[in-house]
Amino acid sequence: MPRSRRFKQVDVFTQTPFLGNPLAVVLDAEEMTDIQMQAMARWTNLSETTFVLPPSDPRADYRVRIFTPEYELPFAGHPTLGTAHALLEAGILSNVSNRIVQECGVGLVTIEKTPHGALAFQAPEAQFQALSRESVVQLEAALNTSSLHPEHAPALVNMGIRWLVVRLTNAAACLAVRPNPVRFAELRRWCEADGIALYGTHPEGLPAYYEVRALIPEHGMVVEDPVTGSANACIARLLQQQGFPDGLSTRQGYSVRQGTVLERDGRLQVRYASNTPWIEGHSVTVIDGTLNA
């Protein structure tokens, strides 16, 4: 017998509906099986669907499971902010302070409310791995570009989800990339990456300091994710590990635009506190109702 469950679909990293990254959120997913969760994620056909459960760790305010249409993720950025937004809006987290603790596959993730109505998550710790010269040659072929930044080598950054972070010479070169699907699949298997995160600087830092793109495999194709919290968290960790090569500092942080090629206008802010990056953005609810499942 289907059960009625509270459900929201939110647009993350935007204040304007349809310009960010959509997320489906089941607010009370108790008694749903793994098979049911995966089936629903496949049905929504969004990049991620989240399922809220009671926490198993007493330090957490809730537990979340994150599913793509094909598999479960231990962590993802826009689902973290979008789920917290949905829970706050529904009044489920009405007793929390300005800090929220989410339990997920990588452990506990802290989320902060900001004074201007956004939410920010603390980037998990990351591990870094340089690419071999052979992999860099494969990367250029996979991206159909000769515009890799000569001074900043690509690196694999792992924070539960594993992004190959690639810097282009500038934002225009980033936007011009048109990947080769066959070479992309070969490279991803070679590197064992979940996706490739591209970034480049805008002249004068406008309309944002960095342009970012996130390319992921899905159903045998290369798909672009509109706005990606985990990819931006990996970029932020790598920039910090490189000693802020653009003259930025932990005091400044920087702004990001993502989704341009998809005619989206995702916006987020990266700031650093206690030597840790925080990924900040707004969310807006587009659908609010119930799910019979």
Nearest to 184 by CA among 146, 216, 156: 216
Q: How confident is the model at residue 250 (pLDDT cuts 50, 70, 90)?
A: low
Minimal CA–CA distance to 122: which of 104, 149, 140, 95? Answer: 104
Interval 144-172: pLDDT, tens: 999 999 999 999 999 999 999 999 999 99
Domains of the chain with CATH codes:
4-123+281-292 (3.10.310.10), 127-272 (3.10.310.10)
HSE of 145, CA atoms in CB hemisphere, 13 A = 22
pLDDT tens-digit profile of 170-224?
999 999 999 999 999 889 888 889 999 999 999 989 999 999 999 998 777 899 9
Rounded Cα gap, residues 177 and 15, in angstroms: 27
The residue among 244 and 62 whose pLDDT is bigger is 62
Query: CA 145, CA 292: separation in Å to the nearest integer?
Result: 47
User: For position 246, what pLDDT does the model report?
Assistant: 83
Q: With a cut of 90, say whether residue 139 has pLDDT above it.
A: yes
- Of the candidates 135, 215, 205, the residue with the CA atom closest to the CA atom of residue 175: 215
Q: Average pLDDT of the chain?
A: 94
Q: What is the mean pLDDT of residues 129-153?
A: 92
The reported pTM is 0.94
The pLDDT assigned to 221 comes to 84
Range list of β-strands (E), the chain: 4-12, 21-26, 49-53, 62-67, 72-73, 99-104, 107-113, 119-122, 127-130, 155-158, 162-167, 195-201, 210-218, 221-225, 254-258, 266-273, 276-281, 283-292
pLDDT beyond 70 at 241: yes
Place 96 in a pLDDT band, splitting at 50, 70 and 90.
confident
Please choose, from the candidates 235, 168, 163, the residue with its C-alpha nearest in 3D space to the C-alpha of residue 201: 168
- Of the chain, the percentage scoring pLDDT greater than 70 comes to 99
DSSP designation for 191: H
pLDDT-derived band at 16 (thresholds 50, 70, 90) equals: very high
- Dihedral pair phi/psi, residue 292, rounded to 5°: -100, 95
Among 60, 48, 6, 59, CA closest to 30: 6
Q: What is the pLDDT of residue 1?
A: 67
Looking at the annotation, which residues are catalytic?
Answer: 48
